Amino acid sequence: MKRITILINIAIIALLSFNTQAQIKVSIGGQVKIFGDRPQDDPFNDLSMQVYGSIGEYLAGGKLGIGDYGRNENWGANVYIGELGNTDTDKLVLHGKKGIYLTWGQGYPTGGIIARWEDSDPTKFKFETDVYAKGILLSSDKRFKENIKPISKKLSELQKLNGVSYVLSQSSQNDVLTPRGALTEKEQNDIAHSKEVNKKRKEKKRTRLGLIAQNVQAVFPELVEEDSEGYLSIDYIGLIPVLVESIKEQQKQIELLEKMAKKDGYIKN
């Protein structure tokens, strides 16, 4: 009995020591504070967990790492979510050293991918959905460009393009994974929800207007890019200067015809 009492006392001392010295603190209300404790940061107890850093009086720079991390000075910082920078910026950073994926449902690779960035193709952030915005501005300052030349291909080349209407084909991604074992009620609800989302996605087939990349590539190869899987994409914005120069060329032709018609008396001054 005496031995049991001694063990219990040692355990209590260890727990007290853990609560006073550890970097993880759990409050009576169940809140978790990691690497710090500033009650004034959440006066209404809205948060379930806070991850603090070690910078300044506000303990800024907190980061939550997923998987291995590595030393930042040796190009570590593999996967984490946290506060941007080395001060109290209040700015969120979502970091994946080799890629960032936004997914839905069962996720990559069998579920839906909303958007992704890969270090193998670092100049592109690819969306698998339509993108809606109040406006889009593209960087086009002369200081960002070099080797500037006039566009030589104009009206005659533009006439070789063929506008089409089309409906996007559906992805070959699986709707749901094959269940393993008996399903819980939540799992059944999740599968039903995933099927409903896929159904809505497949039913929303609107007719679109555009160009076929292979056709554009034959006329304006600089406006078409091929990805690692061989699929082609069109720089539709790049067609705008071609249209501008074509309109100018067409206007010159109209003015020349008007001049000739006036000379021949078909049009009175």
CA-nearest of 108, 100, 145 to 124 is: 100
Is a pLDDT exceeding 80 seen at residue 204?
no
Is a pLDDT exceeding 80 seen at residue 109?
no
Mean pLDDT of 135-163: 91
Reading the block at residue 76, the tokens are 């570590």
Task: Please say whether the beta carbons of 212 and 220 come within 8 A.
Answer: no
Mean pLDDT of 238-254: 93
The confidence score (pLDDT) of residue 110 equals 52
Cβ contacts of 163 within 8 Å, gap of 6 or more: 209, 210, 211
Lowest mean pLDDT among 30-34, 177-181, 189-193: 177-181
Is a pLDDT exceeding 90 seen at residue 246?
yes
Is a pLDDT exceeding 60 seen at residue 175?
no
Place of tokens 């991918």: 113
Q: Starting at the earlier edge strand, list the strands of the sheet with 99-104.
A: 99-104, 112-118, 126-127
**pLDDT-based confidence at 19, cuts 50/70/90?**
very low
Mean pLDDT of 70-89: 86
The confidence score (pLDDT) of residue 174 equals 47
**pLDDT-based confidence at 17, cuts 50/70/90?**
very low
**pLDDT-based confidence at 225, cuts 50/70/90?**
very high
Higher confidence at residue 191 or residue 95? 95
The confidence score (pLDDT) of residue 117 equals 92
Is a pLDDT exceeding 90 seen at residue 37?
no
- Percentage of the chain lying above the pLDDT 90 cut: 39
Dihedral class, residue 61 (left if φ above 0, else alpha if ψ from -120 to 50, else beta): left
| Planar angle of CA 71, 72, 77, nearest 5 degrees | 95
Q: Write down the pTM of the prediction.
A: 0.69
Task: Please say whether the beta carbons of 168 and 128 come within 8 A.
Answer: no
